[in-house]
Homo-oligomer: A and B are copies of this chain.
Amino acid sequence: MRAGLNQGTHPLLSVEERQKLAFIASIRHFPVGGVLFREGDEATEIFILVSGTVKVSRMLGEGNEVVLSFFFPNDLLGLLENGRYVNSAKALTPVTAYSLPLTALERLLRTNPDLQLHFLTKLSHELREAQQHAITLSRSSARAKILMFLNLLKMHNETPEGPKNRISLPMTRVDIADYTGLTVETVSRNFTRLQREGTIHLINPHCLEILDEQLLREILPG
């Protein structure tokens, strides 16, 4: 279910490219629970995350939320269609982001074919990866899904304060369930199970430590 636009070692844009973009950007701040944009709203800007975590989701009729991805610093978010956002984005922690007005961005891209080509390449790569990831997840066990989810968080864990391998989970169990396609109960049970196995240690529901480093290698089998 990994669906962000970056992939750990591959930020969407290079440092120089982001600097170019910074010329047309402004800084925005959002509190916990703040909405960056809402599905269906007219799109006027896209964002590049500076700090914090964002949940991107879509509603499927009858209050059924699908969490498409979690976004971390350096991610680009706000993909749109026909001038409207296709997803909703909500801040899970206090968030700082660059805001890029669409009109200026389009002008910039139109006059910088190389920058645009890079966008194209990166986009196709990242989304292809996301698709692959989604398919992979669709055929693995609940345990493996949780491990992949933890691995995702681990890769983006930018707070190495305190013990290494400590991961903060700013989202709720429901968010994790809506992201992995499991039920809350299954998510909870598997956290407990991983703890019993000695793979992780739950400090509290929103903070855990990874004890068994090799869970990364173990992820593939399913």
Q: Which A residues have a C-beta under 8 Å from some C-beta of B?
A: 1, 3, 58, 60-61, 66, 68, 79, 81, 86, 106, 109-111, 113-114, 116-117, 119-120, 123-125, 127-128, 130-132, 134-139, 181, 220
CA distance A124 to B66 in the complex (A): 19
17 more A-B residue pairs beyond the given contacts A1-B135, A1-B138, A66-B132, with a C-beta to C-beta distance below 8 A: A3-B131, A60-B220, A68-B131, A68-B132, A68-B135, A81-B128, A109-B113, A109-B117, A113-B113, A116-B117, A116-B120, A120-B120, A127-B130, A127-B131, A134-B134, A134-B138, A138-B181
CB contacts (< 8 Å) of A117 on chain B: these are 106, 109-110, 116
Among A106, A123, A139, find the residue whose CB has the most chain B CB atoms closer than 10 A: A139
Given A123-B123, A127-B127, A131-B3, residue A60 in contact with residue B136 (CB < 8 A):
yes
| Min distance, Cβ A104 to any Cβ of chain B, angstroms | 15
Interface of chain A: mostly helix, strand, loop or mixed: helix
CA distance A207 to B137 in the complex (A): 30
CA distance A124 to B1 in the complex (A): 17
CB contacts (< 8 Å) of A130 on chain B: these are 127, 131
Query: Are B123's CB and A127's CB within 8 A?
Result: yes
